[in-house]
């Protein structure tokens, strides 16, 4: 059950600048988080399995147009090795993320998922872009539990401006999200906050769409300009109706996401931690978030998964990162979740 929050009210919260009134939003989001998903913070080990990508997204540093970026693709043994490491670090889930890379064949991913599931029992989340339904179906049958696919913006005009078209008749992301739900995946989506051209009205509609989709996971982070992308080379000036890519704005979206999707798993994202290394995680965890996704990609690939510059934690060793995030969570009076940390459903 979501808290009644009209689209007009969402819009008003996004425009709210009074710190005292915003405290009401923070408190409400934190209360709902505690009542609905409790005090546990679930850790998901993120493995960036390939930086090849066939897409040309205007914001993303690994888009196909970035010819200077050396490309890598992990092999099955490396990925499974990282999953073992996730187990030893006490994580209950691994997230396999990549660019949209058809070099990761349907069969390859199925085999890797099967191996991780049978050997470790970890929950497996995939975040591999807009793949054909046949791929998504086979991966689900192989045991994948969850799929992340941010819709980035619900505004069609803005969406098409930053996502140059692929083949005609390619499925749109919203149709794919419905397909993922039908296949029985726990389904996650989200947006970037402050994507150039994004208005308050667009962003309010995005949040309303989180509710309509009844998302199991909602990930939001600030847009971070990347110099080798179209948006980085050709910056768009912000007008008064445009959202800026700030920590505060991102935190409002985290809090509102908790209110519209009370049972969802909501990460304190790496992008947020990038704009506020010292306390970005804490701020989000105290305003609706209940998940952190520490990076466990092998060190030699880290700098190549260059979706935006200056990524936080990129040079942290997985063991140090695990210790550090545990102590940060405990310092908030929260506990580290055990097990897969699936989406809670109150009425099942």
Least distance CB 39 / ligand 5AD (angstroms): 27
Let me know: does 3 contact 262? Beta carbons within 8 Å. yes
For residue 105, give the nearest of 144, 131, 123 by alpha carbon. Answer: 131
Residue 15's alpha-carbon distances to 28, 32, 271, in angstroms, are: 17, 22, 22
305 contributes a contact to ligand 5AD by CB under 6 A: no
Number of residues near ligand 5AD (by CB under 6 A)? 12
Our CB check for ligand 5AD shows the closer of 94 and 224 to be 224
- By CB under 6 A, name the one of 187, 308, 313, 336 that touches ligand 5AD: 308
58 contributes a contact to ligand 5AD by CB under 6 A: no
- By CB under 6 A, name the one of 60, 126, 249, 261 that touches ligand 5AD: 60
44 contributes a contact to ligand 5AD by CB under 6 A: no
Give dist(CA 146, CA 269) in Å, integer.
17
Least distance CB 280 / ligand 5AD (angstroms): 13
325 contributes a contact to ligand 5AD by CB under 6 A: no
Close Cβ partners of 44 (under 8 Å, ≥ 6 residues apart): 91, 92, 93, 94, 95, 125, 267, 291, 292, 293, 294, 341
Tokens of 42: 């679930």
Our CB check for ligand 5AD shows the closer of 211 and 226 to be 226
Stretch that binds ligand 5AD, among 41-49, 154-162, 218-226, 235-243 (CB under 6 A): 218-226
- By CB under 6 A, name the one of 92, 188, 196, 221 that touches ligand 5AD: 221
Q: What is the greatest pairwise CA distance in the chain? A: 54
86 contributes a contact to ligand 5AD by CB under 6 A: no
Stretch that binds ligand 5AD, among 19-27, 221-229, 235-243, 297-305 (CB under 6 A): 221-229
46 contributes a contact to ligand 5AD by CB under 6 A: no
223 contributes a contact to ligand 5AD by CB under 6 A: yes
Let me know: does 241 contact 201? Beta carbons within 8 Å. yes
Least distance CB 206 / ligand 5AD (angstroms): 12
Sole residue written with tokens 């969402």: 10
284 contributes a contact to ligand 5AD by CB under 6 A: no
Give dist(CA 338, CA 188) in Å, integer.
20
Instruction: Please write down the HEC assignment for all residues of 46-58.
Output: EEEEECCCCCCCC
- By CB under 6 A, name the one of 28, 48, 152, 306 that touches ligand 5AD: 152
**With b meaning 16 or more CB within 10 Å and e meaning fewer, what string describes 171-205?**
eebbebbebbbebebbbbbbbbbbbbbbbbebbbb
Sole residue written with tokens 């102590």: 327
271 contributes a contact to ligand 5AD by CB under 6 A: yes
Q: What angle do CA 256, 159, 274 make, to 5 degrees?
A: 55
Tell me which residues touch ligand 5AD (CB under 6 A).
59-60, 150, 152, 192, 221, 223-224, 226, 271, 307-308
């Amino acid at each position: 059950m979501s808290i009644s929050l009209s689209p007009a009210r969402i819009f008003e919260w996004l425009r709210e600048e009074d710190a005292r009134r915003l405290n009401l939003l923070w408190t409400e989001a934190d209360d709902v988080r505690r009542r609905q998903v409790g005090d546990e913070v679930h850790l998901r080990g993120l493995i960036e399995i390939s930086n090849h990508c066939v897409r040309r997204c205007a914001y993303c540093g690994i888009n196909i147009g970035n010819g200077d970026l050396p490309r890598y693709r992990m092999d099955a043994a490396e990925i499974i090795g990282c999953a073992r490491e996730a187990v030893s670090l006490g994580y209950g889930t691994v997230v396999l993320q990549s660019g949209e890379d058809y070099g990761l064949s349907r069969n390859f991913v199925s085999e890797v998922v099967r191996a991780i599931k049978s050997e470790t029992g970890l929950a497996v989340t995939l975040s591999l872009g807009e793949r054909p339904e046949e791929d998504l179906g086979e991966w689900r049958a192989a045991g994948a539990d969850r799929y992340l696919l941010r819709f980035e913006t619900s505004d069609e005009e803005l969406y098409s401006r930053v996502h140059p078209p692929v083949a005609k008749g390619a499925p749109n992301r919203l149709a794919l999200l419905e397909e993922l739900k039908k296949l029985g995946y726990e389904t996650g989506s989200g947006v970037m906050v402050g994507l150039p051209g994004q208005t308050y009205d667009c962003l309010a509609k995005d949040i309303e769409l989180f509710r309509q989709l009844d998302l199991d996971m909602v990930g939001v982070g600030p847009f971070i300009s990347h110099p080798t992308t179209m948006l980085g080379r050709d910056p768009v000036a912000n007008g008064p109706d445009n959202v800026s890519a700030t920590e505060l704005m991102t935190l409002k979206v985290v809090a509102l996401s908790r209110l519209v999707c009370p049972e969802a798993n909501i990460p304190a994202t790496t992008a947020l931690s990038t704009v506020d290394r010292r306390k970005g995680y804490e701020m989000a965890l105290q305003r609706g978030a209940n998940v952190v996704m520490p990076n466990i990609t092998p060190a030699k690939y880290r700098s190549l998964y260059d979706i935006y510059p200056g990524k936080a934690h990129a040079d942290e060793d997985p063991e140090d990162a695990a210790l550090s995030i545990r102590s940060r969570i405990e310092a908030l009076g929260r506990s580290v979740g055990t097990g897969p940390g699936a989406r809670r459903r109150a009425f099942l």
